[in-house]
Amino acid sequence: MSLFVLFLIFIGLLILLLFISLTFQQNLYLLFFLLTKKKEKAIRCLSLFLLPGTVIHEVSHMLIAEILQVPTGEFSFIPEIKDEERVRVGSLKISHSGPIRRTLIGLAPLAVGLTILTTIFYFQFLPLVQKPPDIFNQKPVFYWLSAFLCFLIFIISNTMFSSKKDLEAAFFPFLLIVLVQIALWLGGIKLKISLEQKTYNFFINVLTSINSALVFTIVVDLIFLLFIRLATRFSEKTLKRHLYFRTDEKDF
């Protein structure tokens, strides 16, 4: 499979994961809204649930900003309702910089998140997929570790996507990358010289690993999403409350 095709698959998986993430956060918010009966309380519960991923998200911004020598300000992990449609879960003040550095800082959570997801999948779950163990005869630490890593995958995948503000300067660098990819594909450029071929194969292997990790992450997120949907249905019947899709009009 060519590098260009793997890149297209990568973009497609990211878009699908983003859609699942938005759907999950909406469904989890509705569940908390059903239980608390207040919009503000539901938002705070959602923010607290996603707090570990939010910390990783903002720390990623800070680390890349420090590496690029862009001054940063104070952290904030307190959820803030901006208006009827926007909620800011976390924030980090960053000084003004050029579009390239701003883009790299904005994409830092996604890069760090993908690195963590791929590492967990490669070292923990890929061996289990390649050679399934006898899961009924494992030590308790095996189940606890697997459950914790699945939860970590789930939390990171739902908080690693950058906000619109993070990507406000990313249009032109992204367009440049896409144009280069299209040029390589149309030109049929293939690196066949020994060193260049090794570099080409390296990127093939990296993208293949990332795509495999994204597929596994999507499966994990869908399982969590199904659990949240079932919990919402159960809560509706138990509490005898009917939850409408639009909850921004009135509290219970």
CA distance 229 to 221: 12
Question: Could you tell me if residue 190 is inside a domain?
Answer: yes
Question: Could you tell me if residue 41 is inside a domain?
Answer: no
In this prediction, residue 224 carries a pLDDT of 93
> Which phi and psi angles does 36 have, rounded to 5°?
-95, -25
Question: Could you tell me if residue 75 is inside a domain?
Answer: no
Question: Could you tell me if residue 121 is inside a domain?
Answer: yes
In this prediction, residue 107 carries a pLDDT of 84
Question: Could you tell me if residue 7 is inside a domain?
Answer: yes
Report the chain's terminal Cα–Cα distance, integer Å: 53
Question: Could you tell me if residue 42 is inside a domain?
Answer: no
Among candidate residues 9, 34, 16, the one with its CA nearest the CA of residue 228: 34
The model carries a pTM of 0.80
- Domain coverage including residue 214: 3-35+108-131+138-239
> CB under 8 Å to 21, separation ≥6 — which residues?
157, 158, 161, 221
Q: How many folded domains does the chain comprise?
A: 1
Q: Going residue by residue through the chain (252 aa), what tens digit of pLDDT does each one get?
A: 677 788 889 889 989 998 998 898 889 988 998 888 888 888 888 888 888 888 888 888 889 888 888 887 777 666 555 544 445 566 677 777 777 788 888 888 888 999 999 999 998 888 887 777 776 677 888 888 989 999 999 999 998 886 666 555 555 555 666 666 666 666 555 444 444 667 778 888 888 999 999 999 999 999 999 999 999 888 888 877 766 544 444 444
Residue 130, CA distances (Å) to 80, 95, 124, 139 in order:
45, 47, 11, 20
Question: Could you tell me if residue 19 is inside a domain?
Answer: yes
Question: Could you tell me if residue 161 is inside a domain?
Answer: yes
